């Protein structure tokens, strides 16, 4: 097969998240912008919102889990956002963000379950469609589902025969289990070092879009993700965070079915790997 890599670590802020944040903030009216915006994030959405707000002259508050990657916290502050640390996972940070909305009247920017944000993330799929004459399989990581929701719709417009495959960690299979149940479920626990995949509950909107546009959702182990981070550095000379490496892991460990001669796209969603996470990798 021929494998193409959509390398979003070269975006400013180091991930695809700037796409959705820019689109969402530009869709707000003056009243909504004037109240300031708030979001909850593991880190990449935080940086995207912080930069998009700064570029549009809007105040930004970001709620992040206390165990968020330190480099992502520092970068978010560096783009001018006020950072509030709360909870241990995104879901708890999200509840705090909602409380602050009620208290201060901020405009809430959901990290994945928002149609304007999904449309912004979908520009990644439009670029794949513009760049490639043939696409048979597109492999996309799934956290809350915003990225794959946008990409799948964009890809299917031009390449209706293409298969879109989502990848989750086996330690946090929220979308996989929701699809199997036929409705959105909340995981009791999430155990993954890939903060972009660390979500207990996917969005109601993203669940419906994934159900209708995504052909399969596969799981990879934590060891396979870590191994693929190292493999990407050694073979591709690309620094991928865990969520991004998950798509390569799915391909390398044969979770993806593709006929001989296929054109396969792996979406490398970002490269914001903290130095402590890097030191924890097993390098053989």
Which of 17, 24, 72, 156 is catalytic? The answer is 17
Residues 250 and 167 sit within 8 Å (Cβ to Cβ): yes
pLDDT confidence of residue 89: 78
* Residue 284, pLDDT above cutoff 60: no
Which tens digit of pLDDT belongs to each residue from 3-33? 999 999 999 999 999 999 999 999 999 999 9
Which tens digit of pLDDT belongs to each residue from 217-274? 999 999 999 999 999 999 999 999 999 999 999 999 999 988 899 999 999 999 988 7
pLDDT confidence of residue 29: 96
pLDDT confidence of residue 273: 84
Give whole-number Cα distances, 7 to 127, 137, 178, 266, in Å: 12, 16, 28, 9
17 is catalytic: yes
Which tens digit of pLDDT belongs to each residue from 149-161? 999 999 999 999 9
pLDDT confidence of residue 65: 87
Which tens digit of pLDDT belongs to each residue from 180-205? 999 999 999 999 988 889 889 999 99
Domains of the chain with CATH codes: 2-14+115-280 (3.40.50.1100), 17-108 (3.40.50.1100)
User: 69 falls in which pLDDT band (50, 70, 90)?
Assistant: confident
Which of 15, 169, 178, 269 is catalytic? The answer is 269
User: 278 falls in which pLDDT band (50, 70, 90)?
Assistant: low
Say which residue the tokens 């050694």 belong to: 234
Give whole-number Cα distances, 59 to 108, 138, 206, 241, in Å: 12, 36, 27, 28
24 is catalytic: no
User: What predicted TM-score, i.e. pTM, was given to this entire model?
Assistant: 0.92
């Amino acid at each position: 097969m021929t494998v193409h890599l959509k390398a979003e670590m070269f975006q400013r802020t180091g991930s695809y998240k700037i796409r959705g944040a820019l689109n969402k903030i530009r869709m707000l009216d003056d009243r909504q912008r004037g109240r300031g915006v708030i979001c909850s994030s593991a880190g990449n959405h935080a940086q995207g919102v912080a930069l998009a707000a700064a570029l549009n002259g809007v105040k930004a508050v970001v709620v992040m889990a206390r165990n968020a990657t330190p480099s992502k916290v520092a970068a978010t502050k560096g783009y001018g956002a006020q950072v509030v640390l709360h909870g241990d996972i995104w879901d708890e940070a999200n509840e705090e963000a909602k409380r602050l909305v009620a208290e201060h009247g901020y405009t809430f920017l959901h990290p994945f379950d928002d149609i304007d944000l999904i449309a912004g993330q979908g520009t990644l799929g439009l670029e794949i469609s513009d760049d490639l004459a043939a696409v048979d399989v597109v492999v996309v990581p799934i956290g809350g589902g915003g990225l794959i929701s946008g990409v799948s719709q964009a890809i299917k417009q031009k390449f209706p025969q293409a298969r879109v495959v989502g990848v989750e960690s086996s330690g946090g299979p929220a979308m996989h289990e929701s699809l199997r149940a036929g409705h959105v479920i909340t995981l009791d626990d999430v155990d993954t070092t890939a903060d972009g995949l660390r979500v207990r509950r996917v969005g109601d909107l993203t669940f419906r879009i994934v159900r209708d546009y995504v052909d399969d959702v596969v799981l990879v182990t934590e060891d396979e993700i870590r191994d693929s981070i190292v493999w990407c550095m050694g073979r591709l000379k690309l620094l991928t965070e865990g969520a991004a490496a998950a798509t390569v892991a799915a391909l390398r460990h044969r979770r993806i079915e593709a006929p001989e001669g296929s054109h396969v796209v792996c979406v490398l969603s970002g490269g914001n790997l903290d130095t402590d996470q890097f030191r924890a990798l097993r390098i053989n």
